[in-house]
Chains A and B, each alone.
Chain A
Amino acid sequence: MMLPAYYVTLAGYIGLATIVALGLVLLTGIAGQTSFGQASFAGLAAYATALLPGTPPPLALLAGLVLTGSVAWLLGLITARLSGHFLALCSVAWGISFSALFGTLPWLHGFNGIGGIRPLTLGPLSAADPLVTVAVIWAAVALSWLALRNLLDSRPGRAIRTLAAARDMAESMGIDTVRLSRATFVLAALAAALSGFLFAHFQRFISPTPFSLTASIEYLFMVIIGGAAHLPGALLGAVLVTLLREELTDWIPRLTGATGNFEAVAFSLVVIVLLQRAPGGLFAVLRARLPAAGAPVRAAAAAPAHAAAPPPAAGPAPPALVVAGISKRFGGLAANQDVSFTVGAAEIVALIGPNGAGKSTLFDIISGQLRADLGEVRLFGHPVGRLPARHIAARGLARTFQHVKLLPGMSVGGNIALGAHLAGRCGVLRAMLRADRAEERRLHALAAAAATRVGLADLLGRPAGTLALGQQRLVEIARALCLAPRLLLLDEPAAGLRHQEKQALAALLRQLRAEGVAVLLVEHDMGFVMDLADRVVVMEFGRRIAEGVPAAVQADPAVLEAYLGGAP
């Protein structure tokens, strides 16, 4: 028995699996895209280095990364807009296609594989010692881990966390979700490629089997077992699955007398039970058992005065918003019919009307989530009806949502900082290299300042999902303020707020108006609306039925009719 060598080898395999699994945590656990094709990405890089025998390893690695990255980028181009299960099934397709190609292309030597791959060397260290390669593998694990940890705690990392469930919201914060999800996909593929390159030099022999669909599925199982939403889950899953496989391949044949892929059956049963009982994986189970290590609250850095919206230019400023003849139909239902009104610069306008009057549709059209069938929307004098939401956000419009759209597991500060996305420039690479700290401090200062304005400065470190509904609405408003908007769209901002909170909100909105920000709000609390608004627009059946100062609207018989109904 060569125990030490055995353990060294095992450590190598665990490290290799951890690297792929780390990429999957990013892709599946955090960005919500399932891939059944990671092993084939590892295979691309492994074959690349095997076919370049004379090349120095760093260059071969580069070649593998470039090849895998390009293939992933092309696949991402095709699949980035597909919904979840289509993407997953598509990955099955390329997983099978690639491994079939590995097995059939004559210059890849089929299932005979390619042998004689040189082990990695580190300067004078012996090439024959597997410990050297294992050390390199674990250095790669550490670097990937660090890079991904840095990424997740950064401007692009926050944006990646919106991909799983809040893409609409992200777009209205100015985030290009399609590009970002493609980048995430490529990153996960690159992690797999790194692992594949190291695998080739560790094993010194490659064949199609470790890059098959089954291998891809096993990586996915590792992540599910370990805990898909957190980086430690990748390590936990890789350790458990690798060790268990070693044990099971030893024991099962002795117990059953049969040979076969019984490890996979065992992992599958574990996966099924976990998905039913503990969908967060073992890491979530462990973390719930351990005493909480008191999440450090990022102290709100002394917030530099956040430059408010630029004051309206001298001369006749264009109105903040012009809605002209907007119509929108859904099938047989006319949600908006020829709706027109304006919101002046530094004016608060309330949009009211009974349920189903078409207010939310109009909000979605103004902010670019929906496109009108007819009519025009002008923002500060420029037509924006054809622009996607993120471009409209860049032009100074920020919004909140009727059904609060926060990332419940992310801190209040992180959620608010999503609104500051357009105030930063750091991309994925700089974030992974931690070269984004100055900008991060600035974004967090912006977030802290916005939180202070809405009265949430004390709650920056709390997970947003633990707040009361009213406070969650305030988080949305703070997030919108981070965009330094010149027009603020608020959808039922006062719902769920207590009386004093409502008064504080009204005071904040008045102050914003004084700073030159225009506000358009949908709200059902009429006391709140009538006190606050300069003008009120009333809608019913998709049409504008009244407009004027609050007192006039309250006295309008048509409005009373709309709300209370005509006496039958």
Chain B
Amino acid sequence: MTGTPLLAVEGLHAGYGRVSVLHGVSLSVAAGRIVAIVGPNGAGKTTLMGAVMGLLPRRGTVHFAGAEAGATEDLVAAGAVLVPETRALFTDMSVADNLLLGAWTRRRAGRSDRDAALGEVFALFPRLGERRHQRAATLSGGERQMLALGRALMARPRLLLLDEPSLGLAPRIVADIFRVLARLRAQGLAILLVEQNARAALAVADHAYVLELGTVVLHGEAAALAADARVAATYLGTGAPA
């Protein structure tokens, strides 16, 4: 990777209360790249996303687009948008309203800008267009993930942070979601992808970090890691003792 990365994380420590989960994680994401973070449950992947977004207290530095990252709202306005593991949809509101609110940080950009973004999201996920007047609570798991992604895209982000987009989804839908991620990357969007489904993540990513017990134990080209037996060992304990 050359030049200033879009997202640069240095020596990140974070946790909940007294319990520290991350122990000095450093990573970077270049513009237009997909970077995957893989690792078993409890490795600290979700904590990492929360700490980067400013949802948790943290130590260490986070730079986005060359500037020190501040409050969550400011980071969103600057173009870094997180889709959390829980999706955090506005379940008692319609699909259309959820998407509209995704463009909250661009509310002064005018109606045509918003309608254009809405059109792009519906082109990417035609199902959302069909269900635009339905309440988000009535959507299926896959549709909810599409809505969460669509809502994030409405902000026209430069970096998308995705936490376990495949969680609880059937394999066919997971494949759909990953195809969409590849398309977004082709449009120049950078993606930081946290995934337990390592094979799918490594297949779509350019670069990857393996997180175990709050530290990066391996990182490199995604293709190389996909062939590395040590990755499987962190999941199933078949290799060296954990």
A and B, direct touch (CB closer than 8 Å):
yes
**Chain B: interface size category:** 20 to 34
13 pairs, CB–CB < 8 Å, chain A vs chain B: A332-B141, A469-B19, A496-B19, A526-B235, A526-B242, A554-B237, A559-B236, A560-B232, A563-B236, A565-B166, A565-B171, A565-B199, A566-B200
Query: Known contacts A332-B141, A355-B167: does B232 contact A527 (CB below 8 Å)?
Result: no
Check B241 against A527 for contact (C-beta < 8 Å): yes
Does any Cβ of B come within 8 Å of A255's Cβ?
no
A60 CA / B78 CA spacing, docked (Å): 72
Question: What would 16 more interface pairs be, CB under 8 Å, given A466-B18, A564-B232, A568-B199?
Answer: A354-B196, A496-B19, A524-B41, A528-B237, A541-B168, A560-B232, A563-B236, A565-B166, A565-B171, A565-B195, A565-B197, A565-B200, A566-B199, A566-B200, A567-B199, A568-B204
Partner among A354, A496, A565 whose Cβ is within 8 Å of the Cβ of B174? A565
Q: Per-residue 0/1 for B129-169: is the Cβ within 8 Å of any A Cβ (1 yes, 0 no)?
A: 00000000100110000000000000000000000101110
A356 CA / B175 CA spacing, docked (Å): 18
Cβ contacts under 8 Å, A333 to chain B: 141, 168
A554 CA / B238 CA spacing, docked (Å): 7
Check A354 against B237 for contact (C-beta < 8 Å): no
Cβ contacts under 8 Å, A332 to chain B: 140-141
Does any Cβ of A come within 8 Å of B42's Cβ?
yes
Cβ-closest chain A residue relative to B241: A527
Cβ contacts under 8 Å, A527 to chain B: 237, 241-242
Cβ contacts under 8 Å, A492 to chain B: 42
Does any Cβ of B come within 8 Å of A127's Cβ?
no
Does any Cβ of B come within 8 Å of A311's Cβ?
no
Does any Cβ of A come within 8 Å of B40's Cβ?
yes
Cβ contacts under 8 Å, A566 to chain B: 171, 199-200
Check A355 against B199 for contact (C-beta < 8 Å): no
A145 CA / B78 CA spacing, docked (Å): 58
Cβ contacts under 8 Å, A331 to chain B: 137
Check A356 against B167 for contact (C-beta < 8 Å): yes
Q: Per-residue 0/1 for B227-242: is the Cβ within 8 Å of any A Cβ (1 yes, 0 no)?
A: 0000010011110011
A560 CA / B168 CA spacing, docked (Å): 17
Cβ contacts under 8 Å, B238 to chain A: 526, 554
Partner among A356, A465, A524, A529 whose Cβ is within 8 Å of the Cβ of B42? A524
Does any Cβ of B come within 8 Å of A51's Cβ?
no
Does any Cβ of B come within 8 Å of A495's Cβ?
yes
Does any Cβ of A come within 8 Å of B224's Cβ?
no
Does any Cβ of B come within 8 Å of A530's Cβ?
yes
Q: Per-residue 0/1 for B192-211: is the Cβ within 8 Å of any A Cβ (1 yes, 0 no)?
A: 00011111110110000000
Does any Cβ of B come within 8 Å of A525's Cβ?
yes
Cβ-closest chain B residue relative to A353: B41
Cβ contacts under 8 Å, A495 to chain B: 42
Does any Cβ of A come within 8 Å of B125's Cβ?
no
